[in-house]
């Protein structure tokens, strides 16, 4: 190549490198370096984490019509958040109390417990508001580099925090000062955009006294006149508000009815077969949640026990040989159940107590609730039905010493539950593990704090609530080795009702859908 052209090429490359440096502040900024600068600009991690609560209040203006009102925003460790807009006769509240999220729009007389993506997004936001990115590693979240951008004339470095459930919070930091200038936060089907300014030091931490918030096409300007770190905030301020004078049912009596109804529900469940697809997911270093593998089974219940028959792997039917093996395995499961029940009957006939722990049998919801404290009962509508909703959290008075491992898990969780008032059945559950659980004294395994479980159900044939989707996210350390992350989405569908028959310890082939 001509020497002249080589010199021109070098000049162009140098110019590009300089431009990149001026744009990003560095040739190859990493998320950790950007966040280190942001941490220093903020006032330091220790200083920030010394704030167990923060109360903010000020004036809000809706840009579209100029209406002015009051704005309140409160946070409390570890993950509580409360936000209120007061604009004329309109008042809107959103909160997460560590167990459930809720929203209220006064003008529309709408008050509801959040479900689905709005609920999981609010939980992610609540944790971020209290902890920023400091707990990313412990929470199995990923930090990735975004494309540099310009916010209000200032060059920014962009870092994206993606939670283990795939909620992404995009942060724009001033490339010069390191202060946070903009956020893009998921809110159900929308993205909430927040811009910050007017930073002032409050007890050693830089706090923005100006916030411009755009949500669902509506923009608000907020100017705080008071920010109080470590403010005395009552836990009740985050709880679901009691607005209705309509009496609630007696909750202990409702739970007794729920327990009494379980045998009938189990009998109905034994008459159903359906398909269940388990999808394993993995959060990549780039912050993208991807499916890695899947398995599809035909699932039925027999005398309170699960029977599963594999029919697909990674979206493809099994080979003839593999399917034959799967069918033999399903028949063996029925045979094993019959043997197990026969042994139990023999023990009872001899007058022996049947105290054998059976980890494969379904955990009674009544057992779970006995291990929990029930809080904030309320009436709501869910999937067209009247339901009783309540939060729950671990009951410190419950004795877990002889509890099954699954009960030890659910009894250490906090969350929210929906119960169909007429059917006396659970319609939906959200749960998060409040504290780590040791298995085998911690030598065999340890289930990490923060594990989460969400179960969605639908009412089938006007008689029973059956699962449609479960979202499972947990981390477990096995045999003191490297931890294992489980991120699964379980979809259930194609329900068929039939009468269970067993012939020669085999599933009647004619009854398979």
For residue range 179-196, what is the model confidence (pLDDT) as tens digits? Answer: 999 999 999 999 999 999
Mean pLDDT over residues 395-416, rounded? Answer: 76
What integer pLDDT is reported at residue 386 of this predicted model? 92
Chain segment 225-238, per-residue pLDDT in tens: 999 999 999 999 99
d(CA 447, CA 449): 7
Range of lowest pLDDT (5-14, 22-31, 273-282, 438-447): 5-14
440 pLDDT more than 70: no
Q: Rounded mean pLDDT of 160-176?
A: 95
Average pLDDT, the chain: 85
Task: Identify the pLDDT of residue 219.
Answer: 97
pLDDT in tens, 367-377: 677 778 888 99
Q: Higher-confidence residue: 449 or 491?
A: 491
78 prior amide bond cis, ω within 30: yes
- Find the mean pLDDT for residues 474-480: 71
Mean pLDDT throughout 259-278?
88
The pLDDT of residue 205 is: 97
| Strongest mean pLDDT among 5-19, 259-273, 490-504 | 259-273
- Copy the structure tokens of residue 364: 């009674």
On the question of pLDDT at 72 being above 90, the answer is: yes
Q: Which two tokens stand for residue 507?
A: 């599933």
Three-class SS state of 253: helix
95: left (phi over 0), alpha (psi -120 to 50) or beta: beta
Q: Which residue has the tokens 């704005």?
A: 71
Q: Quick one: CA dihedral 172, 178, 181, 186, positive or negative? A: positive
**C-alpha dihedral sign at 176, 180, 186, 190:** negative
pLDDT for the residue 457: 94
What integer is the mean pLDDT of 360-383? Answer: 78
Mean pLDDT of 405-410: 66
Put residue 494 in one of left, alpha, beta given phi > 0 → left and psi -120 to 50 → alpha. left
By mean pLDDT, which of 55-59, 208-212, 441-445 is the weakest?
Answer: 441-445
Which domains are present in the chain? 24-238 (2.50.20.10), 251-511 (no CATH)
What CA–CA distance (Å, rounded) separates 187 from 101?
A: 12
Residue with the larger pLDDT of the pair 480 and 126: 126
């Amino acid at each position: 190549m001509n020497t002249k052209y080589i010199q021109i090429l070098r000049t162009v490359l140098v110019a590009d490198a300089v431009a990149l440096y001026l744009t990003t502040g560095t040739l190859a900024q990493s998320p950790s370096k950007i966040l280190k600068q942001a941490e220093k600009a903020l006032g330091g991690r220790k200083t920030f984490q010394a704030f167990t609560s923060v109360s903010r209040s000020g004036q809000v203006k809706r840009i579209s019509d100029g209406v002015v009102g009051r704005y309140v925003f409160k946070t409390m460790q570890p993950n509580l958040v409360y936000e209120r807009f007061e604009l004329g006769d309109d008042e809107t509240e959103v909160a997460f109390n560590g167990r459930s999220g809720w929203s209220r729009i006064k003008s529309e007389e709408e008050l509801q417990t959040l479900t689905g993506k709005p609920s999981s997004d609010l939980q992610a936001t609540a944790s971020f508001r209290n902890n920023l990115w400091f707990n990313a590693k412990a929470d199995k979240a990923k930090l990735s580099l975004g494309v540099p951008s310009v916010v209000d004339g200032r060059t920014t470095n962009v870092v994206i925090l993606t939670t283990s459930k795939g909620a992404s919070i995009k942060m724009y930091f001033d490339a010069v000062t390191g202060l946070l200038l903009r956020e893009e936060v998921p809110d159900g089907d929308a993205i909430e955009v927040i811009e910050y300014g007017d930073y002032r030091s409050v007890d050693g931490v830089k706090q923005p006294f100006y916030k411009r918030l755009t949500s669902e096409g509506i923009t608000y300007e907020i100017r705080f006149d008071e920010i109080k770190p470590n403010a005395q905030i009552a836990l009740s301020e985050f709880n679901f508000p009691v607005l209705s004078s309509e009496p609630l049912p007696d909750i202990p009596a409702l739970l007794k009815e729920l327990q009494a109804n379980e045998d009938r529900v189990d009998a109905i469940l034994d008459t159903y077969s359906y398909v269940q697809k388990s999808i394993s997911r993995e959060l990549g270093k780039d912050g993208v949640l991807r499916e890695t593998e899947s398995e599809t089974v035909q699932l039925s219940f027999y005398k309170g026990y699960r029977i599963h028959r594999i029919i697909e792997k990674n979206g493809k039917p099994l080979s003839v040989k593999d399917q034959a093996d799967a069918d033999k395995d399903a028949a063996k499961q029925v045979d094993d159940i019959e043997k197990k029940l026969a042994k139990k009957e023999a023990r009872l006939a001899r007058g022996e107590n049947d105290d054998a722990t059976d980890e494969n049998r379904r955990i009674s919801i009544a057992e779970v609730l006995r291990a929990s404290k029930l809080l904030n009962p309320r009436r709501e509508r869910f999937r067209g039905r009247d339901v009783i909703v309540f939060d729950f959290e671990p009951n410190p008075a419950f004795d877990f010493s002889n509890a099954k491992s699954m009960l030890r898990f659910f009894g250490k969780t906090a969350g929210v539950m929906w119960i169909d008032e007429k059917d006396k059945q659970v319609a939906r559950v959200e749960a998060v593990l409040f504290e780590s659980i040791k298995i085998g004294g911690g030598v065999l395994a340890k289930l990490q704090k923060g594990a989460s479980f969400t179960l969605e159900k639908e009412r089938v044939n006007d008689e029973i609530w059956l699962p449609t989707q479960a979202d499972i996210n947990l981390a477990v350390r096995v045999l003191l080795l490297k931890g294992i992350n489980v991120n699964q989405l379980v979809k259930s569908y194609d329900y068929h009702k039939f009468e269970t028959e067993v012939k020669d310890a085999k599933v009647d082939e004619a009854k398979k859908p």
